[in-house]
Copies of this chain bind each other. A is one copy, B any other.
Amino acid sequence: MKLRVRLLNLDAGGKTIAIINDEDAAELGVHPLDRIVLTKGKKKITAIVNVTDRFVRPGEIIVYTEIKDILGLKSRDFVTAILREELDSKKFIRKKIDGNELSAEEIKVIIRDVVERDLNDLELAALVTGLHIHGMTLNESLAMTNAMVGTGRKPNFSGIIVDKHSIGGIPGDKTTMIVIPIVAAAGLTIPKTSSRAITDPAGTADRVEMVAPVELSMKKIKEVVKKTGGCMVWCGSLNLAPADDLLIQIERPLEMDPLLIPSVMSKKKIFGSKYLVIDIPTGPEAKMKTREEAEKLAQSFIALGKHLGIRVDCAITQGNQPLGYAIGPAVEAREALQSLCNPEKAPKDLIDKAATLAGLIFQMVGKGNKKTAMKILLSGQAEKKFREIIAAQGGNPKVKASDIQIEKNAAKAQIKSKEAGRISYISNRVLIQIAKIAGAPKDRYAGIVLEKKIGDSVRKNDTLYTIYSEKKPKLRCAASVAEENNGYIISTKNMLIKEVNGIKRG
């Protein structure tokens, strides 16, 4: 069918959307959300159809800027529209939903159609839900990883390439900023890419960005790694595994993560890692609730690694409270920098976890252990390497912790204990929520600095933590949420935590 183009001066958030009249839709045999293939000369694109009975006349097609740019369209041009053929990938998704194992070839076809944007949001949501419910066999995970690798760009680093990954979920986890310089200082190659925060108050990329640029080109990353042995950059703009990036857009709003293992492993494979340590924080409000769950996940990573030629060790770590004392981009960057410069005075949990993970990498490659890691940290070599890396990325190598001026950029509110006793529980979830209400990660000086952690004694009116916020209304909102439930449980002789009354009394 030939249709005359009307341009809409608006983008569709990266999607290739076109709008046609409902008569033409019936003629083509398409419903809203179906795909049509649009052709203009030798150029071709699969478009998502919206249908209207107003505003678009029969014989017309309205296109958003994505399609205009790809096909090079001008107003009143003609395009040819045909119905997209039934996709094999749709059949394969149904096969998985119906409880059957997919072959490597079938997974490859699904991933190809994801990357080519041929599958619509409903089909992708059904895929993610099916994978969440049924899980994947080792063979499926392997095929999925290989298919994702196949869609990405591969750099080539030299040396013994190692990596570190955390499945995340623990507020304040700035371990990467300590581990990378320790490992690189030992002469290993550790090209680390990280994400920005998605549902957390800060991601590693957000933290590092306080002291150095993180949005580097692949060429620049190669230079940094060649020069220093390491890097700490944002993975988002590298287009490493486009299928994974597209599926994450479906997984995130559904709060399902069935592709966690292939997603991690495909990126490590693309970067050529040979040794990988994976941190699996476990606790009542962590991603892994029990040790059994965590061990199962660890075994899955290890088994898949074997097939990919990546030696994987996993560390199941304590995830029952924030790591260190700071939560939020700026306060975490400051804490990490202070810990590198003054490891003796640094939070013990942060230093122990960083040394443990770096030590596991050293053990794998036969170059020492946790003690080696501690030695590198305490000798100042890690700090020196950190400054080399941020300088190579374009940051100021002389940066001091006091340059990250929290007090100047943010107002604060102190949250105090309402009773005396010993702290027995801290809710990650509540602190994450409060830090986000305060503005993190977008407002980078927003966040929380804890004064008390599990096991500490408190008196009534002692400060539990300070909330920082760049904007007064956000600070008021965060503080009032914290006053309602500060996330701490303080053990006293009194077993009652709070009365909940159906009828107001008094």
- Asked if A253 lies at the interface with its beta carbon under 8 angstroms from chain B, I say yes
| Residues of B contacting A442 in the complex (Cβ-Cβ under 8 angstroms) | 26-27
- Asked if A9 lies at the interface with its beta carbon under 8 angstroms from chain B, I say yes
- When chains A and B are docked, how far (Å) is the Cα of A125 from the Cα of B31? 16
With contacts A13-B51, A54-B11, A55-B10 known, is A31 near B252, CB below 8 A? Answer: yes
With contacts A9-B55, A10-B19, A52-B11 known, is A255 near B94, CB below 8 A? Answer: yes
Question: Which stretch of A126-134, A227-235, A490-498 is in the interface?
Answer: A126-134
Question: Which stretch of A116-124, A150-158, A394-402 is in the interface?
Answer: A116-124
Q: What per-residue 1/0 map shows which CB atoms of A14-50 lie under 8 Å from chain B? A: 0000010000001101011110000000000000001
Contact of A126 among B32, B99, B254 (CB under 8 A): B254
**CB closest residue in chain B, given A132:** B97
The 7 closest A-B pairs by CB, nearest first: A125-B125, A129-B129, A122-B125, A126-B129, A10-B55, A26-B442, A11-B52
| Residues of B contacting A31 in the complex (Cβ-Cβ under 8 angstroms) | 252-253
- Asked if A204 lies at the interface with its beta carbon under 8 angstroms from chain B, I say no
| Residues of B contacting A249 in the complex (Cβ-Cβ under 8 angstroms) | 32
Q: Would you list 29 pairs from A and B whose C-beta atoms are within 8 A, ordered by A residue?
A: A8-B10, A10-B52, A10-B56, A11-B54, A13-B50, A13-B51, A13-B52, A26-B442, A29-B436, A31-B253, A32-B249, A33-B253, A34-B253, A54-B65, A55-B65, A97-B133, A97-B256, A98-B133, A99-B133, A120-B253, A121-B121, A122-B122, A122-B250, A123-B125, A125-B126, A126-B126, A126-B128, A129-B129, A129-B133
Name the residue in A8, A52, A134 with the highest tally of chain B Cβ atoms < 10 Å from its Cβ.
A52
| Residues of B contacting A27 in the complex (Cβ-Cβ under 8 angstroms) | 442
- Asked if A62 lies at the interface with its beta carbon under 8 angstroms from chain B, I say yes
Contact of A125 among B99, B121, B436 (CB under 8 A): B121
- When chains A and B are docked, how far (Å) is the Cα of A120 from the Cα of B32? 15
- When chains A and B are docked, how far (Å) is the Cα of A255 from the Cα of B123? 10
Contact of A254 among B10, B50, B122, B253 (CB under 8 A): B122
- When chains A and B are docked, how far (Å) is the Cα of A39 from the Cα of B338? 47
- Asked if A12 lies at the interface with its beta carbon under 8 angstroms from chain B, I say yes
- When chains A and B are docked, how far (Å) is the Cα of A255 from the Cα of B95? 12
| Residues of B contacting A255 in the complex (Cβ-Cβ under 8 angstroms) | 94
Known: A8-B10, A122-B254. 10 other contacts (CB 8 A): A10-B19, A11-B52, A13-B51, A27-B442, A31-B252, A31-B253, A33-B253, A97-B256, A120-B253, A123-B253
| Residues of B contacting A130 in the complex (Cβ-Cβ under 8 angstroms) | 129, 133
- When chains A and B are docked, how far (Å) is the Cα of A31 from the Cα of B251? 13
- When chains A and B are docked, how far (Å) is the Cα of A123 from the Cα of B121? 10
- When chains A and B are docked, how far (Å) is the Cα of A477 from the Cα of B123? 29
- When chains A and B are docked, how far (Å) is the Cα of A37 from the Cα of B118? 31
- When chains A and B are docked, how far (Å) is the Cα of A99 from the Cα of B32? 31
CB <8 Å contact, A55 and B11: yes
Q: What per-residue 1/0 map shows which CB atoms of A73-92 lie under 8 Å from chain B? A: 00000000000000000000
Name the residue in A13, A65, A97, A99 with the highest tally of chain B Cβ atoms < 10 Å from its Cβ.
A13
| Residues of B contacting A123 in the complex (Cβ-Cβ under 8 angstroms) | 125, 253-254
- When chains A and B are docked, how far (Å) is the Cα of A256 from the Cα of B10? 34
| Residues of B contacting A12 in the complex (Cβ-Cβ under 8 angstroms) | 50
- When chains A and B are docked, how far (Å) is the Cα of A97 from the Cα of B130? 9
- When chains A and B are docked, how far (Å) is the Cα of A376 from the Cα of B19? 51
**CB closest residue in chain B, given A31:** B253
**Closest Cβ–Cβ distance, residue A259 to chain B (whole Å):** 15
| Residues of B contacting A8 in the complex (Cβ-Cβ under 8 angstroms) | 10
| Residues of B contacting A26 in the complex (Cβ-Cβ under 8 angstroms) | 442
- When chains A and B are docked, how far (Å) is the Cα of A50 from the Cα of B66? 14
**CB closest residue in chain B, given A437:** B29
| Residues of B contacting A128 in the complex (Cβ-Cβ under 8 angstroms) | 126
With contacts A10-B52, A13-B51 known, is A129 near B19, CB below 8 A? Answer: no
- When chains A and B are docked, how far (Å) is the Cα of A124 from the Cα of B62? 27
CB <8 Å contact, B120 and A122: no
- When chains A and B are docked, how far (Å) is the Cα of A250 from the Cα of B51? 15
**Closest Cβ–Cβ distance, residue A305 to chain B (whole Å):** 28
**Closest Cβ–Cβ distance, residue A46 to chain B (whole Å):** 15
Contact of A253 among B65, B122, B133 (CB under 8 A): B122
- When chains A and B are docked, how far (Å) is the Cα of A120 from the Cα of B249? 14
**CB closest residue in chain B, given A255:** B94
**Closest Cβ–Cβ distance, residue A370 to chain B (whole Å):** 38
| Residues of B contacting A99 in the complex (Cβ-Cβ under 8 angstroms) | 133
| Residues of B contacting A97 in the complex (Cβ-Cβ under 8 angstroms) | 129, 132-133, 256
Name the residue in A31, A122, A250 with the highest tally of chain B Cβ atoms < 10 Å from its Cβ.
A122
**CB closest residue in chain B, given A127:** B129
Name the residue in A10, A54, A94, A99 with the highest tally of chain B Cβ atoms < 10 Å from its Cβ.
A10
